[in-house]
Structure 1
Amino acid sequence: MSVNSFILLILLVVAGLQSAWAEVMVIHYPRASAKADSHVDYMHELLHEALVFFPNRYRLMPSQAQMQQGRAVHEMKNGTGEVDLLWTMSTDEREKNLIAIKIPLDKGLLCWRIPLVTTGNKHLFKSVKALHDMEHISAGQEQDWPDVKILESNGLPVATANSYEALFGMLEGGRFDYFPRSILEIWKEYDVHANRDLFINEEIALHYPTAYYFFVTPSKRQFAEDLNNGLEMLIQNGQFEKIFLKYHQASITKARLKHRTVLELQNPYLNPANMPLHRAELWLKP
C-alpha cells in the first residue's frame, strides 16, 4: 500500500468512527423514469461499497416522483432538497453549478455509441465511411440530454422526445432513423424492448469525449467529500475495477468496436482540461 493510500485509509477509519455517533443523513437520488435503468444496479453497488467506510452516516433514497435529468439538475442547483445525488454525463455548465466527483464511473465508455435501428434499417450505415455521410440520417434523443447539443454541433440532425421510453416507440414508428446508445446500455435496452421491431447495428460506432460522474448538490459538501474518498479507496483496493467488469465486461466484448467504422465527434460542452485524463487507471479504451 502506498503512503497516500495509507493516509487515506486512516482518514476513512477516523471518519467511520465519527459517523457512528453522527445523525444519519438522507441522500435523495432521482427516481428513474425508464422501465429498466441499465446503470442503476451498478451505481447502487458502487455507492454501497464506497459508503461502507462511513457506516450509519448516510441513507440513500429515491425521490418521491420520477425525474428526468434536466429537472434533477435544476433541483440540485437550486438546493430544493428534492434531489442530492445524480449520476450523469458531465458538461462544463454542470460542473460549474454542482459538485462533480471526478471519477469516471463508465471509465470513458459511455461516449462509445452504437446505433439502435429497426430491422428494416439494419444496413442503414453500410456505406457510411465519414461523418458527412450521416448528414441526412436523423438520431433520436431525450430533449434534456447533453448528447443533443453534441450531435447537433457536429452537423448531425436530431429529433427529441420529452421522455426516454417514448424514444423506442418513435424509432419503431420511423420518427427518426437511429437511437445512438452507449455500449454499456444498448444490450439491456434491447432485451427490455424485445417486443419491438429493433436491431443493434453492427457497422459503425460514434465516439466523442465525455465523462460520466456522480454529481452532488452544493449543500451536501461533506457527503461529496466522503463519497469521493470512498470511491478512491475502492480504486486503491481493486474493488472499483472488479465491480465495473462484473457489470460491463460482457457488453464491451459484444460491441466488437475494432470491427466497426468509428466516427469521431467533437464535444464542445466539456473542456478536456477539466477531465482527469492524467490518471490512466480511471479510463479504459476498448
Structure 2
Amino acid sequence: MFTIKLLLALLISLLVHATIPACASDKDVMVYRYWDWGITPQRDDYQVAVLKLALEKTRTSHGEYRIERKLETLSRSRAHRAIAQGEFLNIHASPLRPLLTEQDRREQLAESIPVTIPLMKSLLGYRSLIIRRSDYEKFSGITDAAQLKQLIAGQGRGWTDIGIYEHNEYQVRGDAEYFTLFSMLLAGRFDYIPLSVIEVNGALSRFEQYSDSLMVLPDLMLYYPLPTLFHVSAKHPSLADRVEQGLTQARQDGSLDRLFEQHFSEHVHQMKSVKLRVFVLENPGVPSTLGLDRPLLLNPQSNPKPRP
C-alpha cells in the first residue's frame, strides 16, 4: 500500500513539474483568436493566411504565436462586443467602417484597433448582382446608373454597404439577415442583391434551392472603395502593433501581393475577360489617400467614366 501511494505521489509530482514550463512558455506566445464568419470560406482562408504571413514576418522580433479560428454563428453586433471584451475573440477582418463623428471614432477605438493596411485591394467592393431569372431582360437593358436607381437593392442588417448606397442615392433595403436575403428577393421585397464577386457563386451554391429561380447578372457590376482591415481588440494593443508591423513588411517586400494573386487571380481574370458595364459609387468613409476611388483591378476599357 505504501509503495502504491509513493508511486502515485511521485507521478503527480512529475506531472506538475512537467506542466509548469509549458504553462510558463505559453505565456510568451501571442494568441490570436480570429472570428471565422464561415459564410465565405475562401475569404476567411485568405484572411487567416494574411494574418499568418504578418506573424511570420515578425517572429524574430515578437516571438512565437498561435492562431485560433473560432467558427461561430454570430451577428456582427455580437461579434463586435466579443472583440471589445477581448477574451473569446480578439481579432477579425471586416470592411472599414465610416466614422461620421468624433464620438463614433472614440466608440470604435474603445472597442477595437483598426490596422489600416488594406488586405484585399478593395475586392469586396466589386459587386455582382444576384437577380431573379425572370428579370434578366429588364436588367440587361440597363445602360446607366439612373436606371438602376429605380430598382431596390437588398442588403443584410447592419452592413456597411447600406450607407454607401444611400449616399449615392440608390434605393436599398437593409433589414434582412443574410440567410433570408434570397427568399426575400424571390418574394419581391427588393429587386437585386449586390454581393462581392468572391461571394456570389458561393452564395448561390449554398442556397441551391433557389438556383432555378435566381442568377448572377453576367455583365453589370457596381464598384465602390471597400477596404478590408484587421480589427484587434482594444484590450490587446500589442497584438495590433505586431500585425501592423508584419503587414507593413509584407506589403513592402511584395509577399502580400503574391498571396492575393494566389487566392484571387481567377476572380480578377474573370472580371477582366468580360466586357462589363461598371457603375462607380463613392464611399465617403474611405480616405482618397488609399487610392481606391477607381476599380483598379479592371481593364481601363471596362471602366466607364460616368459616376452615379
Would you call these one fold, judging by a TM-score over 0.5?
Answer: yes
Query: Distance between the aligned counterparts of 2:273 and 2:169, measured in 1?
Result: 23
Q: CA 1:161–1:52 in structure 2 vs 1: closer, same or farther (change >3 Å)?
A: same
- 1:81-100 correspondence runs (5 A): 81-93=87-99, 96-97=108-109, 98-100=112-114
Question: How much does 1:68 deviate?
Answer: 2.6
Query: Distance between the aligned counterparts of 1:37 and 1:168, measured in 2?
Result: 19
Residues 76-122 of structure 1: CA deviation (Å, up to 9, x unaligned): 3x435343111111023386523221221111222121101122223
Query: Distance between the aligned counterparts of 1:91 and 1:229, measured in 2?
Result: 22
Match for residue 29 of structure 2? Answer: 24
TM-score by length of 2: 0.74
Q: Does 1:47 align with 2:54?
A: no
Query: Distance between the aligned counterparts of 1:169 and 1:162, measured in 2?
Result: 10
- 1:132-281 correspondence runs (5 A): 132-197=146-211, 198-256=214-272, 259-273=275-289, 275=290, 277=291
Residues 3-50 of structure 1: CA deviation (Å, up to 9, x unaligned): xxxxxxxxxxxxxxxxx885224322224253x434111112122222
Question: How much does 1:284 deviate?
Answer: 4.5
Residues 227-258 of structure 1: CA deviation (Å, up to 9, x unaligned): 12222232333322222112111111222476
Question: How much does 1:271 deviate?
Answer: 3.4
Residues 185-215 of structure 1: CA deviation (Å, up to 9, x unaligned): 2233333334423211023211112311111
**Structure with bigger gyration radius:** 2
| Partner secondary structure for residue 210 of structure 1 | coil
Query: 1:142 touches 1:163 (CA, 8 Å); kept in 2?
Result: yes
Matched positions, count: 259
Query: Distance between the aligned counterparts of 1:257 and 1:134, measured in 2?
Result: 23
Match for residue 106 of structure 1? Answer: 120
| Partner secondary structure for residue 137 of structure 2 | coil
Amino acid at match of 2:141: S
Query: Distance between the aligned counterparts of 2:77 and 2:162, measured in 1?
Result: 13
Match for residue 132 of structure 2? Answer: 118
Query: Distance between the aligned counterparts of 2:172 and 2:207, measured in 1?
Result: 22
Unaligned runs of 5+ in 2: 1-24, 299-308
| Partner secondary structure for residue 199 of structure 1 | strand
Unaligned runs of 5+ in 1: 1-19
| Partner secondary structure for residue 269 of structure 1 | coil
Query: Distance between the aligned counterparts of 2:220 and 2:273, measured in 1?
Result: 8
Question: How much does 1:146 deviate?
Answer: 0.6
Tell me: higher relative CO, structure 1 or 2? Use CA pairs within 8 A at least 6 residues apart: 1
| Partner secondary structure for residue 85 of structure 2 | coil
* Structure number having the greater helix percentage: 2
| Partner secondary structure for residue 50 of structure 2 | helix
Amino acid at match of 2:253: N
Query: Distance between the aligned counterparts of 1:39 and 1:240, measured in 2?
Result: 15
- Structure 1 stretches of at least 4 aligned residues deviating more than 6 Å after TM superposition: none
Amino acid at match of 1:72: A
